[in-house]
Amino acid sequence: MKPPSVAQFMYVFLFRNTNPEVIITHFSYRGSVPETAQACVINNFTLSNGSGHLCAPYCHNDFLCNAFDICFTKGQHVCRLRYGKMEVFPHSTSDCAYFEVVPELSCPEGFFLRSRGVCKNNNLALKSPVIMSSVFDDPDYADFRHGDGSFAVNGEVRSDDKECAHTNEESQPWLTVDLLDQFYVRRVVFVNRKIWEGRLHDLNVTVGTTNMAFICFCGFFIGPGTSHQRVDMACEENCRGRYVRLQITTPVPEFLQLCEIEVYSDCNI
């Protein structure tokens, strides 16, 4: 399939009913991707022809979309919306013509999340908001800087066992990471604390479209955990959601303490 005969950049205009402001999205042709590349497809549409101008409005109107490709398959032109970044073949004229949104910010370590106007790392949890069932608040241990959920998504596991997310001792403590938009979650990784490592047990990991309904299952860690143990869980197929929850499920009061959490999509980003 030859690249559509369009200018290097396409401009899509949308007038909001309540605001006369014109919204502009810029798209750049990047090359080709294989027809078999299914990672991170949000939606797809049948087009009357292979023009990028027909596909671009669909991507423009879905703020999770930051790329699309157009394939001619089974006698039809198909527009596939994506997020993330695909491996492209710049000089190929076969398979599917691939376009990316020109981002408002340069995001060399990941991709531009249009719905929020921020960069997202390939590790979707990195620097994302975290809420917890409680925050450890014993002043005698203030020097350990434990408690704040942001410590679990700062990209660092310290050898001195400081800066870990830490709840109070309670029944079924939990921690939830807000990914800021709905992604296809493929893997959830977490790192246990260095000491008191046996507190990590019976941990259920789920994904939800809201912070109240966690219907997608990623895994259950029986434990007890070992020192700085790193656990890598694979989620169910087609697991799409915004919120990732890690929760100890036993009714006996316990502390939940995690030094790092990572969340990955199945995108090639």
Q: Where are the domains of the chain?
A: 9-120, 130-265
Q: How far is CA 188 from the centre of its chain?
A: 11
**Per-residue pLDDT, 231:** 98
Confidence class for position 259, pLDDT limits 50, 70, 90: very high
Contact 152, 181 (CB under 8 A): no
Phi, psi (degrees; rounded to nearest 5) at 40 = 60, 30
Share of the chain above pLDDT 90, in %: 49
**Per-residue pLDDT, 90:** 66
Confidence class for position 263, pLDDT limits 50, 70, 90: very high
Choose between 49 and 87: higher pLDDT.
Answer: 49
Confidence class for position 238, pLDDT limits 50, 70, 90: confident
Choose between 66 and 87: higher pLDDT.
Answer: 66
Q: List the CATH code of the domain at 130-265.
A: 2.60.120.260
**Per-residue pLDDT, 10:** 54
**Per-residue pLDDT, 2:** 45
**Per-residue pLDDT, 253:** 97
For the cut 50, the answer to whether the pLDDT of residue 3 exceeds it is no
Average pLDDT on 51-63 reads 87
Q: In degrees, to the nearest 5, what angle opens at C-alpha 15 toward C-alphas 85 and 11? A: 40
Enter the pTM of the model. Answer: 0.81
26-30, 151-155, 194-198: least confidently modelled range: 26-30
Query: Between the CA atoms of 105, 107, 110 and 114, what dihedral angle is there, to the nearest 10 degrees?
Result: 0
For the cut 70, the answer to whether the pLDDT of residue 4 exceeds it is no
**Per-residue pLDDT, 94:** 66
For the cut 80, the answer to whether the pLDDT of residue 20 exceeds it is no
For the cut 90, the answer to whether the pLDDT of residue 108 exceeds it is no
Q: How far is CA 161 from the centre of its chain?
A: 27
- The closest of 48, 26, 97, 36 to 68, measured between CA atoms, is 97
Share of the chain above pLDDT 70, in %: 84
Per-residue HEC secondary structure of 21-70 comes to: EEEEEEEEEEEEECCCCCCCEEEEEEECCCCHHHHHHHHHHCCCCCEEEE
**Per-residue pLDDT, 68:** 92
**Per-residue pLDDT, 141:** 64
Listed ranges 5-19, 23-37, 165-179; the one with the highest mean pLDDT = 165-179
Confidence class for position 1, pLDDT limits 50, 70, 90: very low
Average pLDDT on 72-94 reads 80
**Per-residue pLDDT, 192:** 97
Confidence class for position 244, pLDDT limits 50, 70, 90: very high
